[in-house]
Amino acid sequence: MTTDIRHPDRWTASPAGGRAGFSALVALTAAALVGALYMVFLYAPREREMGEVQRIFYFHVASAWLAMVAFTVVFAGSILYLWRGRLRFDRWAAAAAEIGVLFTTIVLVTGPLWARPVWNTWWTWDPRLTSSLILWLMYLVYLVLRGSLPESPRMRQFSAVYAVVAFADIPIVFFSIRWWRSMHPVVVSSQGMNLEPEMVHTLIASCVAFTLLFALLFRLRLGVEWARLETQRLRRILLERE
């Protein structure tokens, strides 16, 4: 008698997808990051008032962009899990949350580094900074919630409901500098981007590079999870055969 060793919920076909596609993503991400670094330090002009410290801006904004994108993936995965009940959607949400907390941490580190010489303070309860800190805490609560409860459909449902509710902070982060008085500059307005063309190009390159990095880390994290589930499944099969 043979045993069907296929995973009951085939949420991914392999740890990192096709090897050729994964290798291409690695190469593209590396090239984009190198290109972005070149543009940040050699192509973008020196800001007249802030000087060299302004170059932190490109990493800060790109990280903030991915912090919001990652939680949007958490939100979408949670909605799909509550609707369809498929394990794959819960795994997508969990993977995005782990990566999102990394990018949000970068935001909270680069922000004070940039603020100290410009605002003469490491921290101020600015609407954008405060809402970003809340987002970081929401990521942590989500991960703690998943880690403190045993693996079960109930844990996944609790986590998904929490993520859907917590997503309300994303529009607050994005629109905070428009809704309240803020020390943060408005980079994008109805008149366009308030930056020199070279700075716009560099900001776009940084956001693209960080987005590719997110995609790479996301695939790697799903691969680790796939390997963990496969190991557990094969162990159960071996125990059943003994």
Give the contacts of 166 (CB within 8 A, at least 6 positions apart): 71, 138, 141, 142
Tell me the C-alpha distance between 140 and 119, whole Å.
28
State the average pLDDT over residues 208-235. 89
Has residue 31 got a pLDDT over 60?
yes
More reliable by pLDDT, 193 or 32: 32
- Give, as one character, the DSSP assignment of residue 188: E
Taking all residues of the chain, what is their mean pLDDT, rounded to a whole number? 84
CB-facing half-sphere around the CA of 167: CA atoms within 13 A: 18
The whole-number pLDDT of residue 21 equals 83
State the average pLDDT over residues 12-20. 56
The answer to whether the beta carbons of residues 7 and 233 sit under 8 Å apart is yes
Whole-angstrom Cα Rg for the chain: 21
The answer to whether the beta carbons of residues 89 and 81 sit under 8 Å apart is yes
The whole-number pLDDT of residue 183 equals 58
The answer to whether the beta carbons of residues 211 and 162 sit under 8 Å apart is no
Tell me the C-alpha distance between 7 and 226, whole Å.
10
More reliable by pLDDT, 22 or 26: 26
The whole-number pLDDT of residue 130 equals 85
The whole-number pLDDT of residue 141 equals 96
Name the band, by pLDDT with cuts 50, 70 and 90, for residue 22. Answer: confident
Span 146-194, pLDDT tens digits: 989 888 889 999 999 999 999 999 998 877 767 666 556 656 555 556 6
Name the band, by pLDDT with cuts 50, 70 and 90, for residue 205. Answer: very high
Element of type H or E holding 101: helix 87-119
The whole-number pLDDT of residue 10 equals 45
The whole-number pLDDT of residue 84 equals 92
User: What is the model's pTM?
Assistant: 0.83
3-class SS of residue 47 = strand
The whole-number pLDDT of residue 158 equals 94
The whole-number pLDDT of residue 64 equals 93
Instruction: Tell me how far the alpha carbon of residue 148 is from its chain's centroid.
Output: 22
Tell me the C-alpha distance between 178 and 175, whole Å.
5
192-193/188-189 β-pairing? antiparallel
Name the band, by pLDDT with cuts 50, 70 and 90, for residue 1. Answer: very low
